[in-house]
Amino acid sequence: MSSNARFISIEGVEGVGKTTNLKYIQQFFSDNGIPLYCTREPGGTPRAEEIRNLLLHKNGEQINRMTELLLMFAARTQHIAAVIKPALARGEWVLCDRFTDSSFAYQGGGRGIPMEIIEGLTSLVLEGFKPDFTILLDLPVNLGLARAQTRGEKDRFEQEDMAFFERVRSVFLARAKASPDRYCIIDTTPALAEVQRELHRVLSEYVLNS
Ligand code: Z5A
């Protein structure tokens, strides 16, 4: 068991290739014999997955933006207590598909909720807990939306327009640039093999040196 387990989040706008690259990261950990617990937000526990269903699926009733934000944090507090902290305590690394940065980007940037409100909720719910390292996959919005077109039915977020995703992307980039020690930005415009060479370099440097 590894005693230097860390909490990594992976973030990015629609179509950047999170799902594809998450599999690559899992393989990297497995190849290096390092225990990894993979999870996602919103979701990650049975109750939090129920909240995910409320958030992602349309049923005819509009969701108020503040309801959306509070549900993200309701799912998150359950997820941290029931899954993330216990895994870290067992000595497993945790890889989370989206975390609090997505709330700043989507509910703050996308929906226009003031950042101070999200900062306040973050302090209240997380009490200083945050990822040790965040991989931000980045791609121009038009390319991401074109890549995402290849998937099936769109969820509630995927139906937003280009301007919404531009605002989301600029918040992700601004947050990453403001804290370069915690974030690594990987451009996913190049072919997948090239993106994964860069991911391998970043993981080797961060994970194998921790
Ligand atoms: N949300 C929120 O609002 N607030 C919060 O606090 C949190 C979340 C935590 C669910 O997220 C929604 O929750 C999300 C924000 C909101 N909504 N949106 N949009 P999700 O993570 O479950 O959903 P997603 O953003 O759609 O993620 P995804 O499934 O991981 O998709 P992806 O990044 O687009 O990845 P992909 O499926 O791997 O890639 C898309 C396509 O591109 C696919 O065909 C790949 O084969 C292709 N691809 C990947 N890389 C390449 C390269 N390099 N070249 C060419 N093609 C490529």
Q: Is 122 in the pocket of ligand 1 (CB under 6 A)?
A: no
The structure's pTM equals 0.96
**pLDDT in 10s for each residue of the chain, 210 residues:** 446 999 999 999 999 999 999 999 999 999 999 999 999 999 999 999 999 999 999 888 899 999 999 999 999 999 999 999 999 999 999 999 999 999 999 999 999 999 999 999 999 999 999 999 999 999 999 999 999 987 777 888 988 999 999 999 999 999 999 999 999 999 999 999 999 999 999 999 999 998
The residue whose CA has the least distance to atom 48 of ligand 1 is 17
Q: Minimal CA–CA distance to 25: which of 135, 173, 183, 190?
A: 135
Phi-psi region of 15 (alpha: psi -120 to 50; beta: other; left: phi over 0): left
Report the C-alpha gap between 14 and 203 in whole angstroms: 23
> 65-79 and 46-56 helices cross at what angle (nearest 10)?
160
Separation of alpha carbons 129 and 18, rounded Å: 23
Q: Is the CB of 147 under 6 A from ligand 1?
A: yes
